[in-house]
Structure 1
């Protein structure tokens, strides 16, 4: 198999694995991976509360995408919208007791497992992966800002 063909095959393996994980999570836990990530983000914030704007920034998603995720979670009773105490026009998103219980019973996601392994990997290996992926993104001419990580934790190569 030629090098280019192997790259395409490997990309397909990754996409297929992510797709299977997404379907498994949806089937077993009744929520999408972005919904799980938003719930996890809220669980890790003070008072389980964040503004819509902060969630958008932390998740690297546009506000309309986050609005859709929050709408679906609110219908399930996993989050609630409440007015900001200091500004009644502003809205806060709050993790409900049901939301906390729901996220507590879900498994770690593939990307969380990868992040843990990357944090333990030699910095040079992580740098090579980053450079290879950046080159791949360049060749694919990907410019979608929503393609960035949904995890707010980053690996620091300067440590």
Structure 2
């Protein structure tokens, strides 16, 4: 495999993520970060979390999370609930509408990958991880801040 093949394979990965995001947006009217927010809330005790917890989970800045939350609240997928003990804190809570949408959406590409990696031998996973680390080193992108997930917004903002 020469360097052109490696670059083509990287483009395939990026294009697949981009196409998945566009398909989910078109078919279900929800962005990947919004869907990830719903998924996160669905796993939390009492289906709620603070703004800071959501921001930390998605590895996105506070202003980006504020926009995501506002759009989701307008669609009634989530609700903001003030903490009765401390009015300065509010929780983002999954609503019945949000839970219904979540149950209708397909498993995301990164979830499918995670499931396959869990079934792969630890040696193969380590080999794959080492290959990515080497590629990152060769590309000089070791210090690039990265969310655990790639979103269309990130791809478009880097263009």
Return the TM-score normalized by structure 2: 0.87
RMSD over aligned Cα, in angstroms?
1.6
Gaps of 5+ in 2: 150-159
Alignment of 1:3-152 (within 5 A): 3-142=2-141, 143-145=143-145, 147-150=146-149
Query: Structure 1 109/86 Cα, relative in aligned 2: closer, same or farther at 3 Å?
Result: same
CA distance in 2, matches of 1:141, 1:69: 31
CA distance in 2, matches of 1:40, 1:14: 23
CA drift at 1:59 = 2.1
CA distance in 1, matches of 2:137, 2:60: 20
CA drift at 1:103 = 0.6
CA distance in 1, matches of 2:36, 2:62: 15
Map Cα deviations across residues 59-91 of structure 1 (whole Å, 9 max, x no partner). 222222222211221121111111112210111
CA drift at 1:140 = 2.7
Query: Structure 1 144/93 Cα, relative in aligned 2: closer, same or farther at 3 Å?
Result: farther
Map Cα deviations across residues 13-70 of structure 1 (whole Å, 9 max, x no partner). 1111111111110110001111111100001111110011111222222222222211
Tell me the SS of whatever aligns to 1:92. Answer: strand
CA distance in 1, matches of 2:100, 2:40: 14
CA distance in 2, matches of 1:23, 1:132: 29
Query: Structure 1 140/74 Cα, relative in aligned 2: closer, same or farther at 3 Å?
Result: farther
CA distance in 2, matches of 1:77, 1:134: 41
CA drift at 1:119 = 0.7
Return the TM-score normalized by structure 1: 0.87
